[in-house]
Structure 1
Amino acid sequence: MTLMDKKYLQLLSKEFPNIDSAASEIVNLSAIRSLPKGTEYFFSDMHGEYEAFLHMLKSASGMIKIKIDLTLGKTVSSAEREALAALIYYPDKEQKRLKKAGLLTDEWRSLTIYRLIIVLEAVSAKYTRSRVRNSIPQDMVYILDELLNVTDDIVKDYYYDVIITTILDTGIADHFIKELCKVIQSLAIDSLHIIGDIFDRGPRADIIMDELMKMHDVDIQWGNHDISWMGAVSGNRALIANVIRISMRYNNFDILEDGYGLNLRALAVFAGEVYKDDPCTIFMPHTLDDNIYDPVDTQLVAKMHKAITIIQLKLESQLIKRHPEWGMDDRELFSNIDTEKGTVKLGGKTYDLLDKNFPTVDKADPLALTDEENELMTVLANSFMHSDKLCEHMRFLYTNGSMYKTINGNLLFHGCIPLDEKGELLSVKIEGEEYSGKALLDKLDEVANKAYFLHSGDEKENSADLLWYLWCGPRSPLYGKDKMAFFERYFIDDHDLHTENYNAYYQFSENADVCMKILEMFGLDPEKGHIINGHVPVKIKNGESPVKAGGKLFVIDGGISKAYQNATGIAGYTLICDSHSLNLAEHKPFIAGESEHTPTLHLVERFDHRANICDTDRGEELLAKINDLRELLKAYRSGIIKQKKDIDRRTL
């Protein structure tokens, strides 16, 4: 035994001070490894559509309804099962509705509690008792633990009757039902993987973030829209402008002002003064959702939209000039505007602009912000930096997120591994060195964290600059297109110029051999592993499939965002991996007030044996701990480490 080994075992002995405690933990961990693996859920590209996403969470993408049908299908009518599902998803709302209709009787309460217990038994069957207890509110732990663990069928019915009758007599039945529903929701999803793009377009990404922070096991693979917000909070002013511009474009004031308390008054005043006689026609917002808390006149929104867009274009051009290593000179368009003629030179041609009024652009120095624009950006930057809720959410994105994740043999990332037209890895120059493939994603993860966690200095500023490149750069793994043509879409009436060409990855990744090479690059088994992406909406109505490369690749952006549903023909996917199989849930458009949103479930892969925890990454971690404890047992038995009395851990 080396000195380091002995020091490690001495530290481990503080938690397990003797043979009995170490042996007991080995038995406990071995038992956990033998349980079926929990159900993993993979979501992508929610884009602020909080109502649809929360419904997916509450319903476990239809899996709770399936459990209800499996456990109660032979004894309970279809209508009653549907009503029970609606109750589990929305207990407060359903109880209020039943009370108003005079249906909230003790008979209904008694029968409902009994049925909920049966569903809870089915949902919790694969978990340890301690895991289930940790999901139950403290005041209900004893009652539910007793109800869930009666094994004698003869005693069971009598025991249930006594406890349920007592619950009714004490007047806590409605509260008990509500908490039962929440426990079922909690246990239906064991772990949650978000494959990027929580933010933008939809109305309230902040509500989605609040819900994710309540989950016991969640990870996030950043999307380019997430990195835009992360960069804004890291101080990148071009991304601050970008976040506000996209919110203006979709008239999403609620997330900015009500969700994050960002003060847009300075922008409103500035835009109203500078563009007071400008109709700002091309900047009228695309309203997909009405603002509830902060309705703003659309004419003023258009002026604010134009004001922040011009500022963003200037700031982006400054970034491109500051970083010639990005090779984006062709995207530095603002210097090519002729403000007097209202034209722009692009690709050797001259185009008329759809908007020709640029009162804040100095012909001699078109990229310079006016004093008023500089002052406005300082106010907006301070507002971003001092929003406690926004900083809390971004900190969660950083601590629970990354550029990619490998989990249980699967490789998760939002966009692409940049490839050239021959299928070879493309590199990006960062801090003077070239990075590609896995090394590129690892380096970008490091840079993103520096942008946020460093307090000041050139390294922080350069890292924050690179977050803008991740938002829209041609070799960005998060963006994966040759350009972001937002200037052309705003200002030039030529649809050929609006085209954004996808990176070659999206063609080559439909080849199973390419996917297998990528899996190998990340240290995964190419025969068993899968790549799971988002970012590119799958147009199922055009015959596209989310399952590609012979089942090696899943692209699960199916259009949760209303902005994409006309193109996709559906309202999003959930990839569900339980102990038996991989399934794709194909969602219907969410309509508030309707309880029937059960998705269509497609089996995409059935495992050759039931997967237990021992088959997962967690199982490997538990096995490593078991092996360490076995070494500790040897050290105790040989006298190398002395045993101590058990410690009451509750006092620690």
Structure 2
Amino acid sequence: MYQEKYLKLLQEKYQTKEAVLSEIINLEAILHLPKGTEHFVSDVHGEYLPFQHLLRTGSGAIKSKINELFADELTEEAQNSLATLVYYPKEKLQLVKNQAEEKGEEDLSAYYFYALEKLLLLTSYCGKKYSRSKVRKALPSKYQYILEELLTEIKRDPLEQKNGYCQAILSKIVQLDQAEDLICVLADTICRLVVDHVHVVGDIYDRGSHPEKIMTRMMQLPSVDIQWGNHDMNWLGAIAGSPLAMINVVRICARYDNLFILEESYGINLRPLIQYAEKYYTPKERFAPKKNPDHDELSPEEEALLNKLQQASAVLQFKLEDALIQRRPEFCLEERRVLRKINFAEATVNLQNHSYSLVDFTPAVFDKNDPALLSAEEERVLRQLLNSFQHAEGLKRHMDFLMAKGGMYLCYNDNLLFHGCIPLHSNGDYKSLRIGEKSYAGKALLDFYEEKVREAYRHPKIHDDFATDLLWYLWCGESSSLFGKEAMTTFERYYIADPRTHHEKKNPYYQLRNDPQVIADILVSFGLSKDGHIINGHTPVKEKRGENPIKAEGKMLVIDGGFAKGYQAETGIAGYTLVFNSFGMQLVAHQGFSSVTEVVASGQDILSTRRLVDEVPSRMLIKQTNIGKKLQAEKIELERLYEKFNS
């Protein structure tokens, strides 16, 4: 019955036998085209400009295309200049005009003709592995006819454009002052054709200054997916109604001098919290905000405010956390009820049978008999703040996109993508989370987490239900695939001087992921081939200490190499990305991004080194991909419809 209904729906779309036949042939042809290039990035942590640069460059994919096409025609310097024009056309054109003015050259026509010729050839070359229909869709509507004509003609003989038909089109474009606009359009089209799909393996948010710009940019991409990171989960939690996730977002923003993300970018009213913090807290050394390299030096007043806001947010976080742990014994977080372990008379805390002095502690904001008790004022501040978060239209729009395109993991083209880890015991067995009478582990655990995240997001007015509380567990729980440690020691790092208490022991996964058999077993448990790959972020690879991002004999790839500036001193690089085209996989390491101005002036990008991870024996076709499987299923249904027309 279902099959008949589906065939009827298909027949409404393809009403004639000839239309069905045409689409069957079209799908069969597409299945034999080379697979599109996938671009993997992770842990961008709000660093918009480096992220945008990686998208524009395709992590070196565009430079490779230029070299393939123009190796015998252009010098390395000319190739770099052309690549820069593709990356940043407006800025490059302005530089060319400035240089022309310095030389006293007013007519830029020759450069426009040169640039248009090279970009048209490059566009044609980058689009040759796609169907004409897909290339047409990548062209902007305002220039679609002109570009289709030029791309068709330029493929025959590029020299012919200097005379006749193509010459006439280009001359008129230059004459009507449309050359610069068309150059920008071609540059954008090339970027779109070179990378077919973008995977973001978690942590869009955190330290960097512009996660909102990253979200907006991702919403413009034609094809993208996201695997949620632990920091992303906090922002989702705020919209889903978790005051605990929300106040953690504020604390982190205050710590890294990023309050303007909340106030200016998302329009969230922090005034009630600011007034509360000013009333009860004074600056403490251990709460000094971290210097944001993107901002001017903080004034003493600004630094004092961030200090007090961070303290207020931390205390509210610890109080809310205590209440959550109490009502969710199944989370097994009882050891983290640290407020209950404080001796207020002696200003000490007892952890793991050791007593530690508290430093920079403010005892006056706690009820000594019930330290987790929120005052009426604190409850009011939290309600007002949560209301402001949930009514921030821009933030809601971005979180809706994060939910629509995101998930806990993704199986795609025989690769398993997830942000953190699969919780394991030291013997390699899956570590489970027991809820009621049922235990969840491995794939079932991640499926359970995703189900509850979506449930919490659907019901944002409920602030203390199980699903919403689970969002916080994903931030700091021992069996969380996003956290991957025994315990989060935020309290200790703030209030205890002894650094030994700050250590957060990692899940055994991070040792066992070097074992090819462990990786193979995980892949198979997710329904993939043992010859696939796991692709992770979350833990910065310390390359300067000799750590290798390629693990388990090439089957495990870690692409967090320190995108955020704060990690780069430790990692020694500025992040890894992964490029997977029809010929195989390449891991790309990057140097620190300075500015667009410097890239344009120098003609160099931030690509450092490329390492071949996996080379396929023969070029991979669309029919071997996830998309190909869907197209194959659609073709089979159309063949059934075709048979129906014949019967």
User: Which residue, 469, 484, 488 being the options, matches 2:492?
Assistant: 488
Which piece of structure 1 moves more, 541-550 or 103-112?
103-112
Q: What is the match of residue 560 of structure 1?
A: 563
Distance 1:258 1:508 in 2: 44
Kindly state the Cα deviation for residue 431 of structure 1 after the two structures are TM-superposed. 5.4
Distance 2:16 2:314 in 1: 66
Matches within 5 A, 1:196-345: 196-275=202-281, 278-291=282-295, 297-345=302-350
Kindly state the Cα deviation for residue 456 of structure 1 after the two structures are TM-superposed. 4.6
Change (3 A) 1:293 1:463: farther
Aligned residues: 632
Kindly state the Cα deviation for residue 78 of structure 1 after the two structures are TM-superposed. 2.4
Which piece of structure 1 moves more, 502-511 or 209-218?
502-511
Q: What one-letter code is carried by the residue in structure 1 that aligns with 2:256?
A: Y
Residue 254 of structure 1 contacts residue 294 of structure 1 at CA under 8 Å; is this kept in 2? no
User: Which residue, 617, 631, 635 being the options, matches 2:644?
Assistant: 635
Kindly state the Cα deviation for residue 614 of structure 1 after the two structures are TM-superposed. 1.0
Distance 2:460 2:317 in 1: 24
Q: What is the match of residue 618 of structure 1?
A: 627
Q: What is the match of residue 40 of structure 1?
A: 38
Distance 2:243 2:558 in 1: 32
Residues 565-598 of structure 1 show CA distances to partners (whole Å, capped at 9, x for unaligned) of 1111110011100000100111010101221224
Distance 1:91 1:631 in 2: 49
Residue 194 of structure 1 contacts residue 219 of structure 1 at CA under 8 Å; is this kept in 2? yes
Q: What is the match of residue 426 of structure 1?
A: 431
Q: What is the match of residue 191 of structure 2?
A: 185
Kindly state the Cα deviation for residue 291 of structure 1 after the two structures are TM-superposed. 4.2
Q: What is the match of residue 132 of structure 1?
A: 135
Q: What is the match of residue 21 of structure 1?
A: 19
Mapped pair 1:464 → 2:468:
yes
Aligned residue for 2:598, secondary structure, equals: coil
Distance 1:127 1:152 in 2: 18
Residue 240 of structure 2 contacts residue 459 of structure 2 at CA under 8 Å; is this kept in 1? no
Change (3 A) 1:407 1:463: same
Distance 2:355 2:214 in 1: 44
Residues 264-323 of structure 1 show CA distances to partners (whole Å, capped at 9, x for unaligned) of 122222111212xx2322111011334479987111110111111111111111111111
Mapped pair 1:607 → 2:616:
yes
Q: What is the match of residue 605 of structure 2?
A: 597
Which piece of structure 1 moves more, 583-592 or 420-429?
420-429
Kindly state the Cα deviation for residue 379 of structure 1 after the two structures are TM-superposed. 1.2
Distance 1:281 1:401 in 2: 39
Kindly state the Cα deviation for residue 146 of structure 1 after the two structures are TM-superposed. 1.3
Distance 1:457 1:176 in 2: 51
Residue 593 of structure 2 contacts residue 606 of structure 2 at CA under 8 Å; is this kept in 1? no
Kindly state the Cα deviation for residue 501 of structure 1 after the two structures are TM-superposed. 1.0
Matches within 5 A, 1:360-379: 360-379=365-384
Aligned residue for 1:308, secondary structure, equals: helix
Kindly state the Cα deviation for residue 432 of structure 1 after the two structures are TM-superposed. 4.5
Kindly state the Cα deviation for residue 93 of structure 1 after the two structures are TM-superposed. 1.9
User: Which residue, 18, 28, 32 being the options, matches 1:30?
Assistant: 28
User: Which residue, 503, 526, 530 being the options, matches 1:499?
Assistant: 503
Residue 33 of structure 1 contacts residue 613 of structure 1 at CA under 8 Å; is this kept in 2? yes
Distance 1:294 1:177 in 2: 41
Distance 1:338 1:502 in 2: 29
Mapped pair 1:449 → 2:454:
yes
Residues 479-512 of structure 1 show CA distances to partners (whole Å, capped at 9, x for unaligned) of 1001111111111111111111111111112111
Residues 369-408 of structure 1 show CA distances to partners (whole Å, capped at 9, x for unaligned) of 1122111111110110000010011111111101100001
What residue ranges of structure 1 are gaps of 5+ in the alignment?
639-652
Identity between Structure 1 and Structure 2 (%): 41
What residue ranges of structure 2 are gaps of 5+ in the alignment?
102-106
Q: What is the match of residue 481 of structure 2?
A: 477
Q: What is the match of residue 162 of structure 1?
A: 168
Residue 241 of structure 2 contacts residue 462 of structure 2 at CA under 8 Å; is this kept in 1? no
Distance 1:288 1:437 in 2: 38
Distance 1:210 1:429 in 2: 38
Aligned residue for 1:484, secondary structure, equals: coil
Q: What is the match of residue 519 of structure 1?
A: 523
Distance 1:356 1:406 in 2: 47
Q: What one-letter code is carried by the residue in structure 1 that aligns with 2:200?
A: I
Q: Name the TM-score, length of structure 2 as normaliser.
A: 0.95
Q: What one-letter code is carried by the residue in structure 1 that aligns with 2:548?
A: S
Taking only aligned residues, the RMSD between alpha carbons, in angstroms, comes to 1.7
Q: What one-letter code is carried by the residue in structure 1 that aligns with 2:428?
A: G
Mapped pair 1:537 → 2:537:
no
Residues 10-67 of structure 1 show CA distances to partners (whole Å, capped at 9, x for unaligned) of 1111111121010000011111111110000111111111111111011111211222
Q: What one-letter code is carried by the residue in structure 2 that aligns with 1:283?
A: F
Residue 250 of structure 2 contacts residue 259 of structure 2 at CA under 8 Å; is this kept in 1? no
Q: Name the TM-score, length of structure 1 as normaliser.
A: 0.94
Kindly state the Cα deviation for residue 173 of structure 1 after the two structures are TM-superposed. 0.8
Residues 543-563 of structure 1 show CA distances to partners (whole Å, capped at 9, x for unaligned) of 111110011111111111112
Q: What is the match of residue 383 of structure 1?
A: 388
Q: What is the match of residue 7 of structure 1?
A: 5
Kindly state the Cα deviation for residue 137 of structure 1 after the two structures are TM-superposed. 1.3
Kindly state the Cα deviation for residue 254 of structure 1 after the two structures are TM-superposed. 2.4
User: Which residue, 103, 106, 110 being the options, matches 2:113?
Assistant: 110
